[in-house]
Amino acid sequence: MSKETIEWLNTYTLIGMTEKRGTAWHYRKSVQGDQPNHYKGFVPVADVVSRLFNWEAQSAPIRYDIHGTVENFTNIDDNGAMFRTITNDSRKVIYRSDTGALLGVFKQGYRIHQFQEWLLDNLASLITPDGLAVTTDSLGIGSAGLLKGGAQAWVQLERPENVKTKEGVEFRSSVLASSSHDGTVATQFSAVQTIVVCDNTHCGAMGEARASGKRFKFKRTKNSLDKIGDARQALGIVVESADDFAATVADLCATTVTDRQFSEFLTLWAPVPEEKGRGRTMAENRRDALTTMYNTDMRAAPWRGTAFGVLQSVNTYNHHGSTVRGETSRAERNMSNAITGKTGEADAEALGMLNRVLMSA
């Protein structure tokens, strides 16, 4: 379970382009010390290296002690008890080189993808063979950070300017690179769109067909680097993904959703159990929250009566209204969902439900 705090978010997440986009919700100047984590322009690559990726993931075999005998003991404790150290050669632990903190346990053949190599160097070669240095005029680091004590990480490359569709939807395009040392996130590069009015993230396009090919995962094999060229083609990088997303938004805004159809969508999205109790109350609360967002919230209401309005309501609810369980913060939950693909899955599921309603009309 994660124990991310405001102090962590203000130290181990770096937020760029604040002159145009403002500060993150978790910004607290008082807990940042001498190094602010917000930047007026793009986040400097050197700061990502020195503040986030200034350590490596290292591995060690699993060892543990059991009671030993005179014939086989390997050490004796302070009380004179004999112990024998067992080494498990089939598995290994992954830990931080700077703190020794445990990150994960894997089979011996597991290959570590170092964050600096994969999320900076390899991401740069994906954008251009000459690296990030030649892309500063068009692309830069919009955000980067560590989650779950350093077990997860991301770097997001963005264009400096937003895109605004004729339907009034303003968004920015980016390539999100993410990886982990605990097995929760594959090393992957994804085309991501962020709706400016609410800072919601849409991973890939909203539709499953358009989303295909906008996420490229790398296996942890010795030939992983050979796939960089394939990733460049598969992603379509930023410009093509922006065009795709704008076309998707136009299609969704042109699709009418009546009040009756929205009610039918709610039945699928948050079915209400017949029996009274906590489950029924929670479902009714979800429906009420989404209905209010759809009808009155400026992050979705301008597109009320369209498929985009419905999906924007769901996406906004998932980002800002749904319950955050355990000790995870909302910001961490949202970013973790983006890099694991859960955000895209939720969008696709909602679109599937809406299509079922529209097709039955």
Long-range Cβ contact pairs of 222-230 (< 8 A, separation 24 or more) = 222/111, 224/111, 224/113, 224/187, 225/122, 228/122, 228/125, 228/126
Instruction: Residue 330: name the closest of 351, 312, 316, 309 by CA.
Output: 316
* Rounded Cα distance, 65 and 53, in Å: 33
Distances (CA, A) of 175 to 45, 60, 73, 318: 15, 33, 55, 21
Q: What confidence score (pLDDT) does residue 112 get?
A: 94
Q: How many residues does the chain have?
A: 361
246, 186, 141, 206 alpha-carbon torsion, rounded to 10°? 10
* Rounded Cα distance, 346 and 121, in Å: 31
How many helices (H) and strands (E) the chain has is answered by 13, 12
Give the helix ranges, DSSP H, for the chain: 6-12, 18-21, 45-51, 115, 122-127, 208-211, 228-235, 237-253, 259-269, 278-296, 307-316, 330-340, 342-359
Q: What confidence score (pLDDT) does residue 132 get?
A: 42
Q: What confidence score (pLDDT) does residue 151 get?
A: 94
Instruction: Residue 236: name the closest of 282, 323, 173, 170 by CA.
Output: 173
Q: How many CB atoms lie within 10 A of CB 325?
A: 8
Q: What confidence score (pLDDT) does residue 197 get?
A: 45
The DSSP secondary-structure symbol of 29 reads G
**Mean pLDDT, the chain cut into blocks of 10 residues (361 residues total):** 69 89 82 88 93 96 88 86 87 95 92 93 68 50 91 87 81 84 88 58 41 68 65 55 78 94 95 89 93 91 93 84 52 52 73 91 66
Characterize 243-264 residue by residue with b for buried, 16 or more Cβ atoms within 10 angstroms of its Cβ, and e for exposed: ebbbebbeebbebebeeebbeb
